[in-house]
Amino acid sequence: MSTTTEDRSRQAESPLSDPEFRETLRELPPSAKLVAKVLEDARPLSQGQLAEESLLPDRTVRYALNRLEEESLVESRYSFYDARKQVYFLVA
Provide the whole-model pTM. 0.81
- Report the pLDDT value the prediction gives residue 10, as an integer from 0 to 100: 47
Buried (b) or exposed (e) across 34-44, using 16+ Cβ within 10 A?
bbbebbeeeeb
Per-residue pLDDT tens listing for the chain (92 residues): 444 444 444 445 688 888 899 899 999 999 999 999 999 986 899 999 999 999 999 999 999 999 999 999 999 999 999 999 999 999 97
Residue ranges of domains in the chain, CATH in brackets: 5-90 (1.10.10.10)
Q: How buried is residue 6: exposed, middle or buried, by Cβ count under 10 Å (0-12/13-18/19+)?
A: exposed
Residue 79 to residue 24: CA distance in whole angstroms: 27
